[in-house]
Amino acid sequence: SPTFASKLRQLALPLAPLVQLTSGTVHPEFPQTLLSFWLLTDDQLDRLASFYHQRTPCQWTAHYPCPVSWPAGMGIEEKRRRIGRFIGLRGCESPLPTG
| Confidence at 11, pLDDT banded by 50, 70, 90 | very high
Q: In angstroms, rounded to a whole number, what is the distance separating the alpha carbons of residues 47 and 49?
A: 5
Number of helices (H) and strands (E), helices first, in the chain?
4, 0
Domain boundaries, the chain: 2-86
Predicted pLDDT of residue 90: 87
Residues 9-35 as b/e (b if ≥16 CB within 10 A, e otherwise) read: eeeeeebeebeeeeeeeebeebbeebe
The identity of residue 84, as a single letter, is G
Give the Cα separation of 16 and 88 in Å (integer). Answer: 9
Write the pLDDT tens digit of every residue in 15-73: 999 999 999 999 999 999 999 999 999 999 999 999 999 999 999 999 999 999 999 99
This prediction's pTM: 0.89
